[in-house]
Structure 1
Amino acid sequence: MCSLGALQARQTLEVEGAPLLPVQRPRPERAQLAKRQAPQGGHEGEDVDWLTTSLLFLFPAIGGLLFGYDIGATSGALVSMTSQQYSGTDWYSLSAFQSGLVVSLSLAGALLGSGAALLYGDKLGRRRELLGASALYGAASLVVALAPGLPTVMAGRLLYGVGIGFAMHAAPAYIAETSPARVRGLLISLKEAFIVGGILAGYAASFVFVEQLGGWRWMYGLAAAPAVVLAAGMLWLPESPRWLLLSGAGPAAASAALRKAKGRTANEAVVQVGRRWCVCEGGGSQGLCSNFAELLRPRYRRPLAIGMSLMLFQQITGQPSVLYYAAKIFQAAGFAGAEEATGVSLVLGFFKLIMTGIAVATVDSWGRRPLLLYGVSGIVLSLLALGTAQVARDMVAWTNLVALLLYVGCYQLSFGPISWLLCGEVFPLKVRGQAIALATLTNFGSNFLVSLALPTITESFGPAATYFTFAAIGVGAVVTIHAIVPETKGKTLEEIEALWQK
């Protein structure tokens, strides 16, 4: 009984932190065994205190919203900061490399934060890690908003990025570990929508302040307000009960956190389940991979290739980086005014949110592989259209708008949610924690490099060549997906793991 409970707790802890992860369907014989062994007060058919559950989701999800906000706000802030009329500084004439640094230093910080979270996150705990993220978010926002010069702006951008790294590590784990089992999949899916909502909020702030003197200071400074809300919420919320069980904090601390997390549905049976998990786990996570060399074993090469290639292609096809420069792209394409360009970016944000909703609704019915293949093929077509529009100048403005909408829509149906979903599914249990951490580092690392290089590449070779290069990479992504990515829809994690043993 204890070994089954430990396995289930371990799977929940490591797997369900990935965006859009489906609820597992155990094999019939295991389901029967679990049903016979499950203690009273288990997950099946449990009641949900929707108010408490919503708060347990809402405050950590603000960490993701602030990540998205930075993407959207940076798009307009770069226009404002480099405008002679509206910058309000005497250092507005930034080089392409300096513009790239303003954008990419937050990603460099996220890379550092992800590495630090990998080493120290489990020691800090989800709640303290999110509190640290809120402090970094708030402090960095004020540093940038009040910056007397470009070096201070860059220091604040790096600090904000470290907050992103902590938040994107802790928030998914906290949501997965505190959510009732029967609504966990829904809440993890909604977390992706919060990130997209943050991008939209950043575009809205850009639209409002882009033609105000020193508007970029307001765009970045506004992030301090939700950072305070995140901190206040996490001070009130309990620590993750499952983390307390695994960290050896003891039955009393875990029981108290369980009662608060369950809200009105808490009862003695729930506490007993928590104590049983504590006894089974023994305060540790034995049996999990603690050595990266384990990932290089032949049986793990294909799932590692799938996860790493999806994370890499997600970034080097350019879409996340293009979002940072959306306003500048539209401004150069024919929407001459800064306000007009940021207004079109706002439309882009709304469209991205709509397409995210479609992806959440269809991923379990259409399947992962078709969404990836058709979605990435659409990305390639839109990149070819963007490149062609730069050559045929008489059709630039509206062709850019339509092509970028297609670009973003296809991304949200494919790389956006499906890459993280497959990373949660394809890695075997023994190496899943380490492999997902490596995938996260690949994600932020490649995003940093592309964002840093994009302005310089575009300036050196022109936008048409840049888009055509991204399109060629997209073709490589389609070929790779067709060759190595299996369909995992409807399969249990055990069935997916068995694929690598054939």
Structure 2
Amino acid sequence: MMESGASSAQLVDDFRKPSYATQYLGAFSACMGALSFGVAIGYSSPAGSMLLKPENMTYNETDGELYLSESQNSWYGSTINIGAFIGGPLGGLLIGTIGRKGAMFSTFVGFLISWLLTIFAQNFAMLISSRIVVGLATGITCIAANTYIGELASVDIRGTLGSGFQLMVVIGIEFAYIFGAIMDTWQLLAVVCMCPVFVFFVLILISKESPVYLLSKGKEKEAMASLQFFRGKDYNIQRELDMMRADMEEARENKASVKDLVVNPHLLKPLTISLALMFFQQFSGVNAVLFNLTTIFKEAGTDIPETLSSILVGLVQIVATAASSLLIDRAGRKILLTGSAIVMAISLAALGFFFYEKSIDQADSLQWLPLVSLMLFITSFSIGYGPIPWLMMSELFPRAVAGEASSLSTMMNWSMSFICTLAFTPLQDVIHDYGVFWMFAAVCVMNVAFCALVVPETKGKTVEEISAYFGAPSPLKSGPNEKPKLDISIIS
């Protein structure tokens, strides 16, 4: 009877759900870093429009005001990517040395310094410095916040909590667009955009450190207290704690290097796919569009005010990003990526058509087209190509090389974003607005072929199954003499 009673108690523990409130609070605290990062991205669109030197204005007419040329404004919008390129690997180092919470504290300092540099900027160099510093904070945030959320979340809500990061980024972008329409100066806009950083600081201050990090440092009691906090006082954490120990031991035994990614075909293939996804994500032109959205609408010269158009596009982005979290596990990665690339190609081609017609004074009846095209573009990106490359980055690789592969993919993303956003304005001068958007559309067409022929479907597949398909040395078997049959098509 005692054994039966013990079994019943164990059964109750096995099926008892963890508490969600503390997990949502922890994830929200980290996601305030994502909102701060989104605000910084969105700021360059309205602020860039304010900073651009008015046409026909000479130096003496500025009365000491700081203005930027088109070339300087292009650098101002793009240099955040330089900082983020460095911040990504730095974030990987920091989360292992000072912890996930400590790394997020460091981003608060970076965000604060960057906004103070902006508010008190006296010259172009101070503005550029502010963007590099905020880029550093952004790169660290992407690593630290996502790692923290993944480690505090229970399996049953990990996807939901993880999708909150991207949602808060786009909410931050919309925050900057809305206040950019209200504020009269870029300095005052910077003061408002600095406010979420203090909320981030307070929330991180009261948050618990990641139980995984504490366990990795041998702090057993602190790790148990942290995990108990996130799971609820009545939840039995012992099994999950044992799994954490086992995972850490496995990672230590099977630790691999960047060289292993290159020399082993079963690692090189998924790495190539991940890097290509990051390339196509950025060369869809999304950041070039978001960083210059107000200027694009101003150049379009439509009847709708450019600030209102930017706000509407931002609202659409929020709704689409929220919808993507519901669709990813239902529709699958491959179909959403392919559909996203198709719609982006069509919307960019339509936007290029508008600017071509405008160049020959034939766009009077197409005043609606820029707003509709960009809303369609952002919607399709937010549902597919926005979140999925980041999600697949964590799915394609075995645990032993996940960190190195993720760092390379992140660096590819930020470097491509820098090139794309910096080249946007010069390309407008060389091949005109319509040429730039048609170029992005052509890249999206190539992307459709890549997604259809090369990208694997990872929905419902374990890391081990995916690794086995790519030819890992010890593939899983689905039967005594049978190799796993996965719904993955790839060019060898």
Question: Out of 284, 293, 310, which is 1:317 matched to?
Answer: 284
Q: Secondary structure at the match of 1:392?
A: helix
1:139 Cα deviation after fit = 1.9
Structure 2: where are the runs of 5+ without partners? 1-6, 472-482, 484-492
Match of 2:383 in 1: 413
2:32 maps to 1:62: yes
Q: Determine the C-alpha separation between the residues in 1 that align with 2:12 and 2:250.
A: 22
Q: How does 1:311-460 map to 2 (within 5 A)?
A: 311-335=278-302, 340-393=305-358, 394-395=362-363, 397-460=367-430
Q: Determine the C-alpha separation between the residues in 1 that align with 2:200 and 2:318.
A: 22
The worse-fitting range, judged by mean Cα deviation, of 310-319 and 178-187 is 178-187
1:280 Cα deviation after fit = 4.3
Q: Determine the C-alpha separation between the residues in 2 that align with 1:360 and 1:269.
A: 29
Q: Aligned pair count? A: 455
Deviations along 1:397-427, one digit per CA (max 9) or x if unpaired, are 3211111111111111221112112222222
Change (3 A) 1:359 1:131: same
Match of 1:475 in 2: 445
1:269 Cα deviation after fit = 3.7
Change (3 A) 1:55 1:268: closer
Change (3 A) 1:475 1:42: farther
Report 1 or 2 for greater relative contact order, CA contacts < 8 Å, sequence distance ≥ 6.
1
1:282 Cα deviation after fit = 7.0
1:491 Cα deviation after fit = 2.2
The worse-fitting range, judged by mean Cα deviation, of 389-398 and 431-440 is 389-398
2:114 maps to 1:149: no
Deviations along 1:59-78, one digit per CA (max 9) or x if unpaired, are 10011111211222211000
**Bigger Rg, which one:** 2
Letter in 2 for 1:225: C
> 8 Å contact 1:41–1:273 — kept in the other structure?
no
> 8 Å contact 2:333–2:458 — kept in the other structure?
yes
1:333 Cα deviation after fit = 0.2
Q: Determine the C-alpha separation between the residues in 2 that align with 1:43 and 1:347.
A: 48
Deviations along 1:64-100, one digit per CA (max 9) or x if unpaired, are 1112112222110001112549998746552332111
The worse-fitting range, judged by mean Cα deviation, of 94-103 and 60-69 is 94-103
> 8 Å contact 2:266–2:467 — kept in the other structure?
no
2:265 maps to 1:298: yes
Letter in 1 for 2:398: P
Question: Out of 167, 172, 175, which is 2:149 matched to?
Answer: 175
Letter in 2 for 1:250: K
The worse-fitting range, judged by mean Cα deviation, of 113-122 and 346-355 is 113-122
Structure 1: where are the runs of 5+ without partners? 1-36
Q: Secondary structure at the match of 1:222?
A: helix
Q: Determine the C-alpha separation between the residues in 1 that align with 2:12 and 2:101.
A: 24
1:49 Cα deviation after fit = 3.2
Question: Out of 194, 202, 210, which is 2:168 matched to?
Answer: 194
> 8 Å contact 1:138–1:223 — kept in the other structure?
no
Letter in 2 for 1:298: P
Letter in 2 for 1:469: M
Q: Secondary structure at the match of 1:199?
A: helix
> 8 Å contact 1:101–1:452 — kept in the other structure?
yes
Deviations along 1:223-266, one digit per CA (max 9) or x if unpaired, are 322111111111111110111112x232122123233333xx22
1:357 Cα deviation after fit = 2.2
Q: Determine the C-alpha separation between the residues in 2 that align with 1:44 and 1:373.
A: 40
Change (3 A) 1:208 1:275: same
- Give the alignment's Cα RMSD to 1 decimal: 2.6
User: So what's the TM-score if we normalise by structure 2?
Assistant: 0.86
Question: Out of 208, 226, 229, which is 1:260 matched to?
Answer: 229
Letter in 2 for 1:251: E
Q: Secondary structure at the match of 1:243?
A: helix
Q: Determine the C-alpha separation between the residues in 1 that align with 2:180 and 2:394.
A: 34
Match of 1:24 in 2: none
Match of 1:28 in 2: none
1:287 Cα deviation after fit = 3.0
Q: How does 1:120-159 map to 2 (within 5 A)?
A: 120-159=94-133
Match of 1:109 in 2: 83
Q: Determine the C-alpha separation between the residues in 1 that align with 2:218 and 2:450.
A: 45
Q: Determine the C-alpha separation between the residues in 2 that align with 1:123 and 1:369.
A: 37
Q: Determine the C-alpha separation between the residues in 1 that align with 2:392 and 2:247.
A: 27
Q: Determine the C-alpha separation between the residues in 2 that align with 1:476 and 1:150.
A: 38
Q: Determine the C-alpha separation between the residues in 1 that align with 2:219 and 2:459.
A: 38
1:468 Cα deviation after fit = 1.3
1:50 Cα deviation after fit = 3.6
1:147 Cα deviation after fit = 1.3
Question: Out of 221, 225, 234, which is 2:195 matched to?
Answer: 225
Q: Determine the C-alpha separation between the residues in 2 that align with 1:286 and 1:256.
A: 24
2:44 maps to 1:79: no
User: So what's the TM-score if we normalise by structure 1?
Assistant: 0.85
Q: Determine the C-alpha separation between the residues in 1 that align with 2:63 and 2:415.
A: 31
Q: Percent identity?
A: 27
Q: Determine the C-alpha separation between the residues in 1 that align with 2:203 and 2:12.
A: 27
The worse-fitting range, judged by mean Cα deviation, of 400-409 and 286-295 is 286-295
1:492 Cα deviation after fit = 2.6
Q: Determine the C-alpha separation between the residues in 2 that align with 1:184 and 1:356.
A: 17
The worse-fitting range, judged by mean Cα deviation, of 232-241 and 44-53 is 44-53
Q: Determine the C-alpha separation between the residues in 1 that align with 2:194 and 2:45.
A: 18
2:153 maps to 1:184: no
Deviations along 1:367-409, one digit per CA (max 9) or x if unpaired, are 2111111210111111111111111123353211111111111
Match of 2:475 in 1: none
